[in-house]
Amino acid sequence: MIKVAIVGSTGYTGAELVRLLSHHPEVEIVALTSQSYVDQAYEEVYPSLTGQVGLSCQAQDIEALMNEADVVFLALPHGLSVPWAQEAYRQGKKVIDLGADFRFREVQTYENWYKTKHEAPDLLSQAVYGLPELNRHKIRESVLVANPGCYPTASILGLAPLLQAKVINPKKIIIDAKSGVSGAGRSAKLGSLYGEVNENVKAYGVATHRHTPEIEQEIAALLGMEAEKVKLSFTPHLMPMTRGILSTIYGELLENLQISAVELRQIYKDFYDKEPFIHITEEDQWPQTKWCYGSNHVFIGLTVDPRTHRVIVTTAIDNLVKGAAGQAIQNMNILFDLPETKALERPGIWP
């Protein structure tokens, strides 16, 4: 059995890790940490998980926890993962960081966008960006996996076939994305209150959102370019729903290129052939967030607008599963040479 510890287990992402891993046939959860609920039974924090784990929350003792676990999931805010990653690397343990601390190859990019000094820039070169559909061979050989952000997951998966096929201009990409409120985390915030969110839609982080450079970095990697040579416009919106991300991507076709929606759809089907979680919809069938609610599945719809000479792609994921905990477990399965779908096979919940 793989012994698993979850650091930051009482946030929404941590709870989703517990929910999914508690039914993983190859996993034993040995430790759940929390800052706010030390010594409290986990099922008291999340009654929905009564009878699933039988553990209490413990303090965040790095050395003791590392001794117990084969793999550690870090569900922490940015800036807090470094000590854990350093100790794990020292001990040769595997770490999957669901925060932003190891997603960037250039320390300056992280420090500029997150306004935080990185305390272990030497470890950035050891981290692998954990998007399995693009990097599974690198993930398999790694010990430190940087789990992608939720918006970048939806955006990069929607863009990757276009970029590899070289049919759009990589400097003229627009991403309009919507997310459920759970993406803001469990802590009390004015903007997440029911009275603020219900019957309301708002843009936020306009032209400044921290996921922008993450998407640009991975687009550049696909194209074999330096990250600073890729520029895109990314605007996220908060929706009055609990879960889900819907990203609509606009790409300008290269000049004089003529391609039909049928041809483009085949490019996507070929690119994601045999990918168990990626589903390309048929003509005039557009993804909905409810299709993947509570699941690790991804739905991608697309068309060509000949009038504007643009490609339009829409991607739907669950921000807490494929956008966080589910993808982290998919990465763990790869690290331990298990089928990627293990504990993630279930479809979304409808309605």
Token reading at 193: 């209150």
Average pLDDT of span 247-273: 97
Q: Do the beta carbons of residue 182 and residue 12 sit within 8 Å? A: yes
pLDDT of residue 296: 98
What percent of the chain lies above the pLDDT cut of 70?
A: 100
Answer whether CATH 3.40.50.720 is correct for domain 2-148+322-335.
yes
pLDDT of residue 151: 98
Q: Is the pTM of this model over 0.85?
A: yes
Tell me if residue 96 falls in helix, strand or coil.
Answer: strand
Confidence of residue 63 (pLDDT cuts 50, 70, 90): confident
pLDDT of residue 229: 81
Other CB atoms within 10 A of residue 113 CB = 18
Q: Do the beta carbons of residue 265 and residue 259 sit within 8 Å? A: no
Question: Residue 267: is it exposed, middle or buried by C-beta count within 10 angstroms (0-12/13-18/19+)?
Answer: middle
Confidence of residue 226 (pLDDT cuts 50, 70, 90): confident
Confidence of residue 7 (pLDDT cuts 50, 70, 90): very high
Average pLDDT of span 121-132: 97
193: pLDDT strictly greater than 90: yes
Nearest-CA neighbor of 10 among 39, 34, 28?
34
pLDDT of residue 228: 79
Q: Do the beta carbons of residue 170 and residue 327 sit within 8 Å? A: no
* In the block, residue with structure tokens 């698993």: 4
Q: List, for residues 232-253, the tens digit of each pLDDT value.
A: 999 999 999 999 999 999 999 9
Provide the mean pLDDT of the chain. 96
Backbone angles phi, psi at 245, to 5 degrees: -135, 135
pLDDT of residue 64: 83
DSSP-assigned states of every residue in 198-209: TT--EE-STTT-
pLDDT of residue 31: 97
Average pLDDT of span 185-200: 93
Q: List, for residues 269-302, the tens digit of each pLDDT value.
A: 999 999 999 999 999 999 999 999 999 999 999 9
1: pLDDT strictly greater than 90: yes
CATH topology of domain 151-319: Dihydrodipicolinate Reductase; domain 2 (3.30.360)
Interatomic CA distance for residues 332 and 342, integer angstroms:
10
Average pLDDT of span 41-66: 94
Backbone angles phi, psi at 290, to 5 degrees: -70, -20
Confidence of residue 170 (pLDDT cuts 50, 70, 90): very high
Q: Considering 29, 128, 150, 249, which one is annotated as catalytic? A: 150
* Helix/strand/coil percentages in the chain, nearest 5: 35, 25, 40
| Least confident segment among 62-76, 107-121, 292-306, 313-327 | 62-76
Active site residue 292: no
pLDDT of residue 167: 96
Q: In the chain, where are the structural domains located? A: 2-148+322-335, 151-319
Q: List, for residues 84-126, the tens digit of each pLDDT value.
A: 999 999 999 999 999 999 999 999 999 999 999 999 999 999 9
Q: List, for residues 142-163, the tens digit of each pLDDT value.
A: 999 999 999 999 999 999 999 9
pLDDT of residue 227: 80
